Structure 1
Amino acid sequence: MKPIIASRTIDAPLSLVFQTVSDVRNFRKAVPHITNVEFLSEQQHGVGTRFRETRMMKGREQSVELEVAEFADNERVRMVSDAGGTVWDTLFTVSLVGDAVELKMQMDIRPHAFLARLMIPLIRGMVVKGVESDMDAVKSYCESGGEPCGAIDETTGS
């Protein structure tokens, strides 16, 4: 299935943009329809972090479990979920473009259940709208000087 790709040019420091997309606590601050984040691992930052994100979708709360599968500070973060018979593999990358930051997101969608193979093409438009909304929210948050959570202590992960 064709990946969903979105990008935004953001007038904010690269570290702020990266911290916003790579730390779910900051992502929750940026994206208003995320209503709750529950950590499922002791680790709360970097590879191996597992969490449940709850957000409002079409007037109802929906939860999904994700795991940070790849992390390169101020470069890229990959989050993966296996939900509804589908692997949702999302990669955020940040890079400097002149005085701004280019934030790119690529979501690979791999249905592995029969029903998911039928449903994904039907809900793709809704997923694209959600991705675009999240990217707009991150751009607005970062350009308004959003405050990330405190510095991460690499020894404790919090």
Structure 2
Amino acid sequence: MSGEGMTGTGTDGTAVVVERRVAASPGRVWEAITDLPELPRVLTGVRKVEVLTPGGFGVGTRWRETRRMLGREATEEMTVTACEPPDRYVTVADSHDMHYVSELTLTPDGTGPTPGGSASTVLRMAFSARPAHGRAPGVLGRLLARFGAKAVAKALAKDLADIANAVETRA
């Protein structure tokens, strides 16, 4: 299963949903997406991660993530606002006069085991971006408006493909 849907784009913001079937259990996928120091090895678009809070992954965890997107490198500070292991987490970021929300959900795939006999998971990412506090969008906001939800969906689908590849090839 692989797909994408755009739930809206326009002057108020951008919202995108992508999902992918991963040939691994939700627990294995969860480990890959919450091991922050290892994210640059998992996600090809992520150049660097700096964890800002001590302890394990949960509500309040913060990190700076530097990634290349739409031909530019940008660093955003992410904060976990909801965490329900191994089912879902939500992060927010405020940057360049934009407010970003990302939600990752992991659902056991009811279609049965993969050909290799392992469980599978539907990994879904919902992303939204809107001007922060009624402000006009900054550079990143203008890029989102210019390239639209389609480019964002493509980048998010690449992240999900990277996660699937990392988890499925791990012995």
TM range (shorter): 0.7 to 0.9
Q: 2:147 aligns with which of 97, 116, 123?
A: 123
Please list, as runs of the form range in 1=range in 2, the aligned pairs for 1:1-158 lying within 5 A after superposition. Answer: 1-57=13-69, 60-97=72-109, 98-99=112-113, 100-112=120-132, 113-116=135-138, 119=142, 120-124=144-148, 125-145=150-170
Q: Would the aligned equivalents of 1:44 and 1:50 in 2 still touch at CA under 8 Å? A: no
Distance 1:123 1:85, change over 3 A: farther
Q: Would the aligned equivalents of 1:14 and 1:74 in 2 still touch at CA under 8 Å? A: yes
Tell me how far 1:22 sits from its aligned partner: 2.7
Scaled by the length of structure 2, what TM-score is found?
Answer: 0.76
Question: Could you tell me which residue of structure 2 aligns to residue 151 of structure 1?
Answer: none
Tell me how far 1:118 sits from its aligned partner: 6.7
Mapped partners of 1:35, 1:17: distance in 2: 20
Mapped partners of 2:69, 2:104: distance in 1: 22
Shift >4 Å, 4+ stretches: none
When the two structures are aligned, how many residues end up with a matched partner?
A: 146
Give identity over the alignment, percent.
Answer: 24
Q: Secondary structure at the match of 1:129?
A: helix
Provide Cα deviations, 1:52-107, integer angstroms capped at 9, x if missing partner. Answer: 01123355532111011111011001111011111110000001113310000101
Distance 1:84 1:123, change over 3 A: farther
The root-mean-square deviation of aligned C-alpha atoms, in Å, is 2.2
Tell me how far 1:51 sits from its aligned partner: 0.7
Distance 1:16 1:66, change over 3 A: same
The letter for the 2-side match of 1:115 is P
The letter for the 1-side match of 2:158 is S
Structure 1: state its 5+ residue gaps: 147-158
Tell me how far 1:28 sits from its aligned partner: 2.7
Mapped partners of 2:87, 2:46: distance in 1: 24
Mapped partners of 2:56, 2:47: distance in 1: 18
Mapped partners of 1:83, 1:118: distance in 2: 9
Q: Would the aligned equivalents of 2:36 and 2:51 in 1 still touch at CA under 8 Å? A: no
